[in-house]
Amino acid sequence: MTVIDANRMHEIETRYPEYFHQSFRQRFGGLMILIATLLYSLYAVWFFDLPKLFAEAHWERVGIYLSQWVSYDVQPEFRIGDDGSIDIRYPRFSPLGDNPNPDWLVNNPDGSITVSISGTSRTVTVSKSETIVTAYGVSVPVDVFGGAPKVVGPVPGWMTVYDDNVLADLGFAGNVSISVDRVKMRKRFIGWANFIFDTQSSFFDKPVGEVVSLIVSGPRIKPDQSNLSLAFDDIWNNSEWQHGDVWTKLFQTIVMAFLGTLLGSLTAFPLAFLAARNITPNRLLNQVLKRFFDFLRSVDMLIWALFLTRAFGPGPLAGSGAIFLTETGTLGKLYSEGLENIDNKPREGIKSTGAQTVLVHRYGIMPQIVPVFVSQTLYQWESNVRGATIIGAVGAGGIGLKLWEAMRTNANWENVAYMVILILIVVFIFDTASNALRHRLMGTKIH
């Protein structure tokens, strides 16, 4: 073991004073940051009243909404007549079409009807005198003969009795509402119903092989139109999913982002030269333009969209204008700061040859700033593709408005999921393309 004497220790302290004579901030800075973070977290919990917020939140709705994103339901209604007959009815816009004949509904010889809610483990049998619900390993008869439905025997936990009806909750598979003269069911299926062809299409409910055969070599369904053209029209004009309108609005969103970013960059570029102190030595003009950029940036894109929709009415013009104003401020600030940080040696060298100002800018400044400017503009364009979706919800056009309309109904969550997936795909594509272009311009490798 090596022993260090006092002289050696003094020499080490003299050589490395930063390790032996640390300030209070250096010694306790990390601890103070930790304590401040803890105190701020406790303040945030108190300020937002998080315990009450989490206690009163409707967490069950999360599962309901998520299930509706990836599934659809069919709602048959069984009306029991005075003569004991059972009439089956479906909603007007049922996913099964105008003449449904599902294989999960069976007419029994005794006149009753058995509906499979989920295989053979959860079924409902409807007859003129009673309805039998089988689920969770038990069969529960509900007497519907009389003034009010009555559960025969003990009432299970998944069944609720009201004054005029009995509700059986069968989980994700669906539910059953039983009253004296009718039985309403909700049967849930995984997937998106009629995503390709709606119930009005000539190709509805046909097997894939038959549809392909009709398109390739089958006889014309409509004499004046080929089957391929007819199939495309049916898909594009699908009344339930509205593919044509959704894709048109999605394209509007992309155009809004591109046009707004392009106009903003073209406006900000010359203004940035006037705002940069080292390019334009006029302090008043520099400050006026920089404050102008700050004003445009301080008003959020959503607020600009609200102003412009009042001025020009709802539509993509208002959305493009909102992006243009915001990007003029953002890119103007980024461009001017980039200009102020350039290396002045190339510029001074070219100026010393007696070159004109335009040539000085062209050969002394542009080679330094173009890669940075294009990189910043591409990043803003990518960001504006997302932003254009948000401002569309306030009437600025694009798929954002379509998405908001679907959410307001609180019933078309599968359509919401469809549009969200399209938005995610578009954002992913533009993010990848933007990153590739930026790395190519900057001369760096993509990791």
Quickly count: other Cβ atoms within 10 Å of residue 240's Cβ: 19
| Per-position b or e across 137-175, b if 16+ CB within 10 A of its CB | eeebbbbbeeeebebeeeebebbeeeeebbebebeebbb
Structural contact between residues 230 and 222, judged by C-beta atoms closer than 8 angstroms: yes
Local structure of 87: helix, strand or coil: strand
- Label the pairing between strands 182-190 and 174-178: antiparallel
Helix H or strand E encompassing 219: none
- Label the pairing between strands 130-135 and 138-143: antiparallel
* Distance of alpha carbon 266 from alpha carbon 254, whole angstroms: 18
Q: How is residue 225 annotated by DSSP?
A: B
pLDDT tens sequence for the chain (447 residues) = 556 666 666 666 666 666 666 666 777 778 889 999 999 999 999 988 888 888 888 887 787 788 888 899 899 999 988 777 889 998 888 888 887 888 899 999 888 899 999 888 899 999 888 899 999 989 999 998 767 888 888 899 999 998 889 999 998 888 999 998 889 999 999 989 899 998 888 888 888 899 899 888 888 888 888 989 999 999 999 988 999 999 999 999 999 999 999 999 999 999 998 998 888 888 899 899 999 999 998 888 889 988 888 888 888 888 899 999 999 999 999 999 888 887 777 777 877 777 777 777 777 777 778 888 888 888 888 888 888 888 888 877 788 888 888 888 777 888 999 999 999 998 888 888 888 877 777 666 555
Q: Which amino acid is at 58?
A: H
* Distance of alpha carbon 89 from alpha carbon 77, whole angstroms: 5
* Distance of alpha carbon 335 from alpha carbon 439, whole angstroms: 19
Q: Please give the span between the terminal C-alpha atoms of the chain, in angstroms, as a whole number.
A: 47
Helix H or strand E encompassing 134: strand 130-135
Question: Which is nearest to 259 in space by CA: 320, 309, 305?
Answer: 320
E strand spans, 71-129? 71-74, 77-80, 86-89, 105-107, 113-118, 122-126
pTM, to two decimals: 0.79
E strand spans, 255-398? none
